[in-house]
Amino acid sequence: MSTGITTGPMKSETEIGGVSPVDLHELPVVKTTPLADIAGVVARARAAQPAWEALGFEGRAALMKKACRLLLERREQLGALIRDEAGKQPAHAQLHEAIGPLDYVSGWIKVARPQLRPKRLPINPIAMPGKSASTELIPRGVIGIIAPWNYPLGVYFKPSLPALLTGNAVVLKPSEYCPRTGALFAQLLSEVLPKDVVQVVQGARDVGAALITSGIDALSFTGSPVGGRAVLKACAEQMIPCSVELGGKDPAIVLADCELERTVLGILNWGIHNSGQDCGSVERVYVVDEIADRFVEALGRAASRLKVPSKPGDVEGASIGPLSNPMQLGIVEAHIADAVAKGAKVVTGGKKTGIGCWHEATILDRCTQDMRVVAEETFGPVIAVVRVKDVEQAITLANDSRYGLNASIWTTDLERAEQLARRLQAGTIFINNHALTGAMPFAPWTGVKDTGYGVANSEHALHTFTRPRTIFVDRGHAPDPWWLPADPLLKDMAERLAKAQLGQLVAALGLPGVMRARKKKLLDLVR
């Protein structure tokens, strides 16, 4: 189904244009980065990185907190730009993005500090006397970040703040649908951080592809499975690590003993939050037949009270924002049309409204697994309800998906819910809530299947930004007894070591003498 709106933001190979999803007014043009210049951008970041690393963790942490404090102080400016570029309601732009950086980086400081301390390795002092070793995590160098458009500011927190905190320089590639917010984010960081530590390249997919081959040391990518597969192949050819998050189709399972009103409000929030443009949105609801009628009626009633403008200019009283771009509006309309054609019932909503990319909050009942709105990522203000006979069918259908980011179970029987949770195929399973850990630096954000295996947040995410380095120190003065040449004494020593591991202590008692004899024989080679 066509929206009648031009979908692409690119004005030409050298300019990014676009319209505001609020009312379709033209947005300021942004210059693209010439492909030939991208390697130079990365080189500047690389030149700046050693001095940034040399500040040490505490020095970087202090500057990162100062930079994020500046972001927080400029929240009104950032929120207005998010509103203009992505269409978010002012309250949501503030609450879900603009007020987040300082709290987020403070959390990451607590996560990263103990992980970055050197750790002593447990070397056996008897088998290897005089030897010690420690391992530490060090920055990879320059991290590329290819970002999506659904959170024009917040999408940078998960990769860029820990990447910088761990001592890397970063090169950001914003989505061509929201390049202006990404540029302002980088500008504000650069007002505090050392020169060139944060860089930006602007453009479409060709710029992202050029960034991967420009000499970066690792990549963080958030986008579609199609794009993610291409990115993974390109990174493999460059022999660089890549963390990918490739969307979701989150299920919620609603059982008969749930607290109905809270469950309805919770699922409505996590389904329509950010107009559904969240990889952690509840897009599928499996509700048992016993309470399905009551649940659907209550969910539809609540969704119908979420206001969207019905005419141009009537936008200030809206409860939710528009879709962020015409492309996504078209996908939402196509999914609803497919569901209705296959027998789904529109409980409320179902239509584009007003001017721009506004769409009503939509509840679809009696959906089935073969509908696009159940099988594919809709990424819009649409909740598909599937009625099931029992929890067993709910779990089977919830797992019947290409994606596996989050899932949730809504019930008052918490012990049973925890048992059921371990049967769901997802990175995080919530009980009586959903997707809440996405902004928690200490909680892994990851998934399975087409969601991708990348990890954001927590110490598990550090693999993307750091690599382990081991320092081994030998304080011994004599040669190691296992050095060349091979001889009967060496064979005797090996046999005694084997018997010692098997607990045959009598054989082990003679081991020190054999080792001394071996050392003396080795020294005789050079005397």
Span 408-437, pLDDT tens digits = 999 999 999 999 999 999 999 999 999 999
Active-site residue list = 245, 279
Please report which confidence band the pLDDT of residue 6 belongs to, taking 50, 70 and 90 as the band edges.
very low
pLDDT at residue 238, as a whole number: 98
Residues of the chain with CATH 3.40.605.10: 34-118+137-246+460-468
Distance CA 119, CA 121 (A): 6
Superfamily classification of domain 34-118+137-246+460-468? Aldehyde Dehydrogenase; Chain A, domain 1 (3.40.605.10)
5, two tokens: 């709106």
Please report which confidence band the pLDDT of residue 313 belongs to, taking 50, 70 and 90 as the band edges.
low
Tens of pLDDT, residue by residue over 87-144, are: 999 899 999 999 999 999 999 999 999 999 999 999 988 778 899 999 999 999 999 9
Tens of pLDDT, residue by residue over 507-523, are: 888 888 999 999 999 99
Chain centroid to Cα 259, Å, comes to 31
Kindly give the pairing relationship between strand 403-404 and strand 406-410: unpaired
pLDDT at residue 508, as a whole number: 81
Asked if 49 contacts 112 with a C-beta cutoff of 8 angstroms, the reply is no
Please give the share of the chain, as a percent, with pLDDT higher than 90: 92
Architecture of domain 250-439: 3-Layer(aba) Sandwich (3.40)
| Span 213-219, average pLDDT | 98
pLDDT at residue 216, as a whole number: 98
Please report which confidence band the pLDDT of residue 396 belongs to, taking 50, 70 and 90 as the band edges.
very high
pLDDT at residue 7, as a whole number: 52
pLDDT at residue 1, as a whole number: 33
18, two tokens: 């676009």
Average pLDDT, the chain: 95
Position 262 pLDDT exceeds 90: yes
Q: Which of 44-53, 66-75, 304-313 has the lowest mean pLDDT?
A: 304-313
| Span 58-63, average pLDDT | 98
Neighbours of 138 (CB within 10 A): 14
406, two tokens: 């989050």
This prediction has a pTM of 0.95
486, two tokens: 């091979």
pLDDT at residue 315, as a whole number: 77
Position 162 pLDDT exceeds 50: yes
Tens of pLDDT, residue by residue over 324-354, are: 999 999 999 999 999 999 999 999 999 999 8
**Which H helix or E strand runs over 517?**
helix 511-524
Residues of the chain with CATH 3.40.309.10: 250-439
Please give the share of the chain, as a percent, with pLDDT higher than 70: 98
Q: Which of 309-313, 324-328, 523-527 has the lowest mean pLDDT?
A: 309-313
| Span 365-369, average pLDDT | 98
Torsion angle, alpha carbons of 215, 219, 224, 229, to 10? 70
Distance CA 386, CA 117 (A): 49
Distance CA 170, CA 192 (A): 15
Please report which confidence band the pLDDT of residue 387 belongs to, taking 50, 70 and 90 as the band edges.
very high
3-state secondary structure of 179: helix
The more confident residue out of 28 and 3 is 28
| Span 436-455, average pLDDT | 96
